[in-house]
Structure 1
Amino acid sequence: MKKVYTLVLLLIILFALIFTVHTETIAAMDETTGNMFEAINQETILTVLSFIGLLGSTKGIIIFLVLFIIIFAFLYKSSWQPLTIFIAVFLANVCNKLLKGIVERERPVVPGHEVDGFSFPSGHAMVGIVLYGLIACFIANKIQSKTGKMIVFIIAGIILLLIGISRLTAGEHYFTDIIGGFTAGGILLIVLQSGYSFLMNKRKYD
């Protein structure tokens, strides 16, 4: 039931953002948060955030996708986990492009820095939470202790948080783009993880 409540909450947030993302209230909030993150000008911090941002880029996603497809194939001695994360990333990418096409929100204007495509929701955030969320789930499944499982999810959470912040400091997304990406990705993650658990339980008792 907890997953159902979380799913419903995320759906409400996502639809609320879709229908309000072009309003003045949201624009004012995004401008305020954008100015806050633009104020981060320490070179070391920006370098670290830029590196973390690569984890959510197309190149980073592909590298970690291939890496963990290989790792899970050996770890689980099964094709289900590699196939699941491959399908998950593919669906997340398709859904992200679909949502961007529906909302058609222009990206923030940053002098000398142009990025193609629409802004809402953030692809880094949406695809990132699906990939790294599933990776965390599959790793946690192989860990017996609750503390170990918690550490895995905390690390994944920190990585995702930093990916979101990196998009703001780079000026490539608004704050609500990041929230929208995590929300949409969270919905997809819950659905996919639940579907995976259902199939595994079904195979177990067949």
Structure 2
Amino acid sequence: MPAGPIRAFINLKILAFFWLTAALLSVLANLNGALDIFLASLFYTEGQGWSAAGAAPWTWLYHWGPIPGIGLALFCFVGVIAGFFSPSWARMRKPLLAVFLTIVVGSGLIVNGVLKPYWGRPRPNQAAEFGGLMDYRPPLSPGIPGAGHSFPSGHASIAFALMGLIALRKTRPRAAGLGVAGGMALGGLVGLARMVQGDHFFSDVVWSGNIMFLTAVSMDYLVSAPSLFRRWKNITRSKVCVFCAALILSAAASSLYYVLVHRAPYYESHSQGLGLGKQRGPVYIHLDEPYVDAQVIFTQDGRQGEQGRVHVTSWGLGERNAGVALKEYREVKDGALHVRCTIVRSGRFARLDHKVILALPPAMKGQFNIHFVQ
């Protein structure tokens, strides 16, 4: 083990203190959203939106920032396999396995598989403070599953995954130190790019780094713990135990796959302007699917449409590629306007609910009668 800064940098206690302090500061600063909102406002211009979103180097970081983490995962996978056949790779098998599991479990499962789709935190470009229609949510306040995929940052997580190289601290301490430093730097840059693009808050990036660091430390401990491997060797001596373990793992993996792929949360809103400025007769809003709620709101918000706008919000559980589109057409019968909204599904849904809102400017209050029809 080398002396000096590398030894200190890869010391788990120092890293743990750094990341836990960052997490605590993030939570305290974002109890009322002040820090998140302030930092996001630096990249947002009223009337222009996120003007630097499509500029270099942010687009480059968005597209290429995850590549080192993906390449590292492939390299570690090949290295683990090679460790069973090559003596020179055998002593690297456990550290490489820990790095591989850090990327797969941390970024693949925890961040992108579970938290992003189920946490329900709107992105900055979906928040009302920046021209969106959703309310800002603090980082540790779960919302409706599927209603926003902001927490935590998926792109930053795969960039932070280089910190998994901390598993090499005993065999390759210099590589471990460089990996952790590189992971922090790359993750921070990719996270900054996602903030500039209006897709993530500062706290999303910080918590992405926290999760990847804690996963890296956990995988390193689990893989390198001698007692665990001794128990595993004792178990594998019995063919019955091996069969039962394989059966349990297969069932767990299949169940997890089914839930993540076929029961993914879905949440999306569609709206359509109606142009009701000259309407005097009754208005009928038809939806071809049952809905759980329908209401009329009167608002001065120009985003709702100065001449009236119908909003249909859909949420539920379905396949990951499932989606909903809204088709609307109008017809006039005996002076009454009928607005017919058709829900067009793509993919399969296990459950899908809808809410209909007709947004009107206050000047239209009492101008005509409104009816919702299922």
- Relative to the length of structure 1, the TM-score reads 0.65
- When you count strand as a share of all residues, which structure comes out higher? 2
- Aligned residue number for residue 61 of structure 2: 52
Matched residue SS, 2:205: helix
* Residue 104 (str. 1) matches residue 104 (str. 2): no
Tell me the CA shift for residue 119 of structure 1: 0.7
Matched residue SS, 2:194: helix
Tell me the CA shift for residue 142 of structure 1: 4.6
- Aligned residue number for residue 69 of structure 1: 77
Tell me the CA shift for residue 36 of structure 1: 2.3
Q: Deviations over 1:4-39 (max 9, x none)?
A: 9938x739937x84x996x6x21x321210122458
Q: Within 5 A, what are the aligned runs for 1:105-184?
A: 105-109=121-125, 118-129=149-160, 131-135=161-165, 137-138=167-168, 141-143=170-172, 150-184=177-211
- Aligned residue number for residue 190 of structure 1: 217
- The question of whether the paired residues in 1 share the 8 Å contact of 2:80 and 2:94 is answered with no
Letter in 2 for 1:159: L
Separation in structure 1 between the aligned mates of residue 95 and residue 208 of structure 2, nearest angstrom: 23
Tell me the CA shift for residue 172 of structure 1: 1.0
* Residue 34 (str. 1) matches residue 61 (str. 2): no
- Aligned residue number for residue 104 of structure 2: 90
- Aligned residue number for residue 13 of structure 1: 23
Separation in structure 1 between the aligned mates of residue 208 and residue 72 of structure 2, nearest angstrom: 19
For residues 128 and 143 of structure 1, do their structure 2 counterparts lie closer, same or farther at Cα, with a shift above 3 Å needed?
same
Letter in 2 for 1:181: S
For residues 35 and 104 of structure 1, do their structure 2 counterparts lie closer, same or farther at Cα, with a shift above 3 Å needed?
same
- The question of whether the paired residues in 2 share the 8 Å contact of 1:65 and 1:86 is answered with yes
Report which structure shows greater RCO (CA 8 Å, sep ≥6): 1
Stretch deviating more after TM superposition (69-78 or 159-168): 69-78
Which sections of structure 2, spanning at least 5 residues, go unmatched?
Answer: 1-10, 132-146, 234-374
The structure number with the bigger radius of gyration is 2
- The question of whether the paired residues in 2 share the 8 Å contact of 1:10 and 1:184 is answered with no
For residues 73 and 200 of structure 1, do their structure 2 counterparts lie closer, same or farther at Cα, with a shift above 3 Å needed?
farther
Letter in 1 for 2:23: I
Separation in structure 1 between the aligned mates of residue 157 and residue 60 of structure 2, nearest angstrom: 18
Separation in structure 2 between the aligned mates of residue 3 and residue 120 of structure 1, nearest angstrom: 26
* Residue 80 (str. 1) matches residue 94 (str. 2): yes
Tell me the CA shift for residue 120 of structure 1: 0.7
Q: Deviations over 1:47-105 (max 9, x none)?
A: 23433333554x66434421343367669613434433333222112212323355310
Tell me the CA shift for residue 195 of structure 1: 2.2
Tell me the CA shift for residue 132 of structure 1: 0.6
- The question of whether the paired residues in 1 share the 8 Å contact of 2:59 and 2:193 is answered with yes
Two-structure CA RMSD over aligned residues (Å) = 4.3
Separation in structure 2 between the aligned mates of residue 137 and residue 42 of structure 1, nearest angstrom: 37
- The question of whether the paired residues in 2 share the 8 Å contact of 1:126 and 1:183 is answered with no
- The question of whether the paired residues in 2 share the 8 Å contact of 1:69 and 1:82 is answered with yes
Tell me the CA shift for residue 194 of structure 1: 2.2
- Relative to the length of structure 2, the TM-score reads 0.40
Matched residue SS, 1:178: helix
